[in-house]
Structure formats: structure tokens, C-alpha cells
Amino acid sequence: MSTTTPGLSPYQTALRERVLAAPQVDPPTPWRSVFQPYAAVGGLLGIGFGVDPRSGHDLVMVVSSDGHGLFDAVSGEKIARDRGPEDDIPGGADLSCPGLGPLTGQRVRIAGLYGGGLHATAHGGWSVDAVAPAWPNHRVLLATDGGAPYRGPHGETWWHVFDATWSELRAVGFSPSGRTLAVATSSDLSLWTRAEG
């Protein structure tokens, strides 16, 4: 009698079971949660990053069916809001939207429902991956060992930091600076930040 899942090799089955068995935990130091536990954003379509020219903090622009919002990725403060036209969705070859607040006059590339992507790696050896061992639910895995196949022990070299069981995953990744990790679903935004270094 085979102990593998139909269509998967023994290796794939073991990896799937390893990921499914890993409990959700907080990311390790130096990461800290920005929201407790997340910011509700109904109808979230996608997110993008910018930099506040005043503070140097990462900014997260959220595009939803109700307009655009801009969050400081260190404090979590919503610093700008625009309830623009419903058809103001990411467009063009770079899937960008006009910036708001401190990003006015810039175009912000958006990753989410319409495509695009965020950085999967960050300085310091960090990587992030979204996997679906129990489709359609996704798990977000943060790693320091180079990512998949998550060879080291859970909680030491990789962490299951998010479980998208209630909403559809839209985007996962790091800011270009590598100081912010974001997970966006169709209903909320989760952010973690770390000090420069």
C-alpha cells in the first residue's frame, strides 16, 4: 500500500506533509508585526511599495474596490486615502497606479489580482514563498536557509507565518528595501517590519 498522495512522488508527499504539520507562528527577530493582527481592507485588489521622502520609511499603497490607501510600513498609520473612481485599477505595461500623499506625482507598481509580483528575497538571506498544500488555501513561509525545500527545522530556519484560509491571497513579498514583509488577501493586509541592517 502506497503512503504517497496520488500524483505526487514520495518526496513531494513528505514535503507537503511537513508544511501542513507546521503550526503558524510569528516571524522571528528582527521582524515585528505592524498591525495586531492585520488591517482590514475590503475588496483589496493589490499592493505596491514606495518610500516616504520625509522619514525614509517604506510605504504600502493598497488598491481596493473602494479606492486607494497609503500606510506607513513602520507605524501602521494610514497617511493618505483616495476614494477615486472604481475603474482606477492597476494598468499599463507596469501595472501601476498614480501615487497619493507623499507619493503624489509618482507611479506605484501594484502586485495582486491583475498580476505583477513583489520581491521574493531580501538582504540577510531572507526569502518568502506562498504554497498551497491544501488548495485553495495558501500558507506563507518565511525562511533564512534559502527557502524551499525547507530543509531545516520549522521555527529555526523557516517559519509558517500566515495561513490564508478565509480570503483569497493577492500578493506576498518584500519591499525593495527588504525592510518590510507584506501579505495581502482580498480582505486584509498584514505587515512585518525590521530595522535597517
Of all residues in the chain, the percent with pLDDT exceeding 70 is 92
What's the mean pLDDT in 124-131? Answer: 94
- How far apart, in whole angstroms, are the C-alpha atoms of residue 184 and residue 120? 14
pLDDT at residue number 196: 66
Average pLDDT, the chain: 90
pLDDT at residue number 91: 76
Does residue 1 surpass a pLDDT of 50?
Answer: no
- How far apart, in whole angstroms, are the C-alpha atoms of residue 30 and residue 181? 12
Which of 25-39, 77-91, 131-145 bottoms out in mean pLDDT, i.e. has the lowest?
77-91
Of all residues in the chain, the percent with pLDDT exceeding 90 is 75
- The number of C-alpha atoms within 13 Å of 37 and in the hemisphere containing its C-beta is 9
pLDDT at residue number 165: 87
- Residue 135, classified by CB atoms within 10 Å of its CB into exposed (0-12), middle (13-18) or buried (19+), is exposed
Read off the pTM. 0.92
Does residue 100 surpass a pLDDT of 70?
Answer: yes
Contacts of 95 by beta carbon, 8 Å cutoff, 6+ apart = 46, 109, 110, 111, 114, 115, 116
What's the mean pLDDT in 13-37? Answer: 93
What's the mean pLDDT in 44-64? Answer: 96
